[in-house]
Amino acid sequence: IDANADRLGWPLDGLWLDIEHAQAKRYFTWDGAAFPDPRGMAAAIEPKGRRLVAIADPHLRAAPEYDIYAAAANASLLVRPPPSRGGGDAGRSGGGDGEGGGEGGLVGGAAFEGECWPGVSSWVDFLQPRAQKWWAQLYSGAGEGRPRRWPSWLHAWNDMNEPSVFSGAELTLPRDALHVVQGAPAPSPSSVEVEHRLVHNLYGALQAAATFAGLSARAGLPSGGERPFLLSRSFFVGSQRHGAVWTGDNTASWDQLRLSVQMVLALGVSGLPFAGADVGGFFGTPPPELLLRWYQSASHLPFFRSHAHVDSPRREPWLLPQP
């Protein structure tokens, strides 16, 4: 893609790395076989004004050997299951694949578990200030001598943060899943537990805010450093302070092209001007005429990104048939 953009003079600011860049879809890791030298790849495109952007979703593979999950579980920073259900099978049916953790502590016990991209997963409780700080430190590396897990040359993308739960009855967290608002693990007298139904719209916005805080600290803002870029699929009032947003998984159809313009304009007048839609549609295969018109139309939107399902055919503009 980088070479073809050079050859054809196609404007290109960023290359995006979806969930497949991570080892077994465990965020803050790299698939060493597919990306043996990600720093070298970033260094090769930076002189051209291009940057790498990678994804980190709010669900963590519920596997004790995955250090990010283990740290969140041991610190009680994960969403808790509804009181009528224990951990483990709270959000899924069947026995899973054996990596949900053992007995005792939050690992396999007091954390909500459901299905998402990595398999059986638990969700970071971004209602907790401690969880927000912990997540930010994954990007900044600040505090307690912990290493930064998000390199300085990598920008950020938060997806699936409504949050999306494949096994959920409503494809999200159960309405009665529990968040600890005050940050102390229950049942501390200083903690306040609230049901997810009361804070659903805040969840993704709080993840993006924590990500942006970490990226900003990493860059040394406001005094110096490169301004971080962040894209989030879920947002709320105030999300315009943290980065760009987009309209989510659309389909390759003329109706969706028309709707994408309406949605982005509506977001703009609502105070979220840095917005866009997946060019060409996330699902499906756009015919050449639709893809051409979508590229033309989206070039006028504040945020432009061609993004499609992993099973969709490639759709770079130089692959279009000659007129």
Residues marked as catalytic:
159, 162, 249
The SS3 of residue 293 is helix
Query: DSSP string covering 242-256, please?
Result: T-EEE--S-BSSHHH
What is the distance in angstroms between the CA of the first residue and the CA of the last residue of the chain? 22
Residue 45: C-alpha distances to residues 3, 13, 60, 318 (Å): 10, 9, 30, 19
Nearest to 74 by CA among 115, 118, 131, 25: 131
Hey, how many other C-beta atoms are within 10 angstroms of the C-beta on 37?
Answer: 11
Q: What is the CA radius of gyration of the chain?
A: 20
80 forms bridges with which residues in the sheet? 178
Q: How far apart are CA 141 and CA 8, in angstroms?
A: 39
Q: How far apart are CA 312 and CA 293, in angstroms?
A: 18
Q: Kind of pairing, strands 230-232 and 178-180?
A: unpaired
Cβ atoms of residues 91 and 50 within 8 Å: no
Secondary structure element (H or E) that encloses residue 232, with its range: strand 230-232
The SS3 of residue 154 is strand
